[in-house]
Amino acid sequence: MKVGIDISQAIYGTGVSDYVINLIQHLPQSELVLFGFSLRRKSDITTLFPSAKTFLIPPTLLDIIWNQLHILPAETLIGPVDILHSSDWTQPPTQAKKVTTIHDLAPFIYPQETSSNIVAVQTRRMKWVVKECDQIICVSQNTASDLRRLFSISPSRISVIYEALPARYLLEPQITKNANYVFAVGARQPRKNIVRLKKACELLGQKLIIVGEGSDIGYVSDQSLVNYLAGASAFICPSLYEGFGLSILGAFYHQVPVACSNTSSLPEVAGDAAAYFDPLSEESIAAGITQALKDRDRLVASGTKQLAKFSWAKTAQETLKVYQSLL
């Protein structure tokens, strides 16, 4: 069995990048045909995966060729494969059995918060995913439910396979524990719900540190991310919508109690190891934070148990079963 996997998204430092890198590391290497596309960062792809076939084609051109015109079968570039696992950006024509992974459906659920270009690309891609993919992997039951609701896809074509702890969280914290603040990872999109989180912390008189796009601190290195997280008295995830919620696993790993929204995929990821709140209520968010601080020991112990349910080896094993089921 030869499996072609588009690794183009591995170089961008996102949650999707974590997924691609860790999945490939845990799959049988002899069965993989790795390939990627980039005009300016081809060397970054080969640094990660020296054996990968790389092509100097920009994503914008691939969108035209594969999502719009839907020409140039993947085999023309990479040779024959039995399974083709496409990226989350393009859906090429192929004679192989087709698999893709849906990490979230934010461009369709919150289009007003998503770049118009991303919405357009994803709309074109999903047309072919719906029409052609033999199996669609979703990273949570919630994402699978959204996929069925928005695109009327048969449950028999959907497999739910959870992600696991990204490698960046395995770094050793370079700090002394400081319990004077709660911590969150933010972004500009309103669905990340940072405005309500700030107001909730104001109600409590609680110091809040946020990193990420649109925050006062901005983007930080992986080491700084771990330092802030491990030093916090609690990790707060107030999002209205997440495809999975990888940062919650990071908090579990560093034994930081979690308070999070009771919506989308977050209860799947956190299980009984979080203090839940209504993300639309500042008072409820404040109560959730208070509960997380109060129940620290119980939540940390539960978080350690919950984290053990997720592993990249399990992700790869279940993905391999999806491949094998199509042959």
d(CA 292, CA 204): 13
Output the pLDDT for position 175.
82
Is 3-164+311-325's fold the same as 167-307's?
yes
Output the pLDDT for position 186.
86
Which tokens is 131 given? 């029409």
CATH number assigned to the domain covering 3-164+311-325: 3.40.50.2000
Give burial (CB, 10 Å; 0-12/13-18/19+) of 152: exposed
| Residues β-bridged to residue 275 | 259
Output the pLDDT for position 215.
85
Cβ count near 308 (within 10 Å): 9
d(CA 203, CA 211): 21
Per-residue three-class SS string for the chain? CCEEEECHHHHCCCHHHHHHHHHHHHCCHHHEEEEEECCCCHHHHHHHCCCCEEECCCHHHHHHHHHHCCCCCCHHHHCCCCEEEECCCCCCCCCCEEEEEECCCHHHHCHHHCCHHHHHHHHHHHHHHHHHCCEEEECCHHHHHHHHHHHCCCHHHEEECCCCCCHHHHCCCCCCCCCCCEEEEECCCHHHCHHHHHHHHHHHCCCEEEEECCCCCCCCCHHHHHHHHHHCCEEEECCCCCCCCHHHHHHHHCCCCEEEECCCCHHHHHCCCEEEECCCCHHHHHHHHHHHHHCHHHHHHHHHHHHCCCCHHHHHHHHHHHHHHCC
d(CA 75, CA 234): 49
Which tokens is 136 given? 């669609």
Residue spans of the chain under pLDDT 50: none
Domain segments of the chain as ranges: 3-164+311-325, 167-307
Instruction: Specify whether the CB–CB gap between 323 and 3 falls below 8 A.
Output: yes
Instruction: Specify whether the CB–CB gap between 137 and 327 falls below 8 A.
Output: no
Q: Which amino acid belongs to residue 256?
A: V
CATH number assigned to the domain with residue range 167-307, chosen from the 4 options 3.30.365.10, 3.40.50.2000, 3.10.640.10, 3.90.640.10: 3.40.50.2000
Output the pLDDT for position 12.
93
d(CA 92, CA 62): 9
Output the pLDDT for position 178.
66
User: pTM of this prediction?
Assistant: 0.96
pLDDT digits (tens, 9 = 90+) for 111-160: 999 999 999 999 999 999 999 999 999 999 999 999 999 999 999 999 99
pLDDT digits (tens, 9 = 90+) for 186-212: 888 999 999 999 999 999 999 999 999
Closest CA to 208 of 184, 178, 237, 179: 184
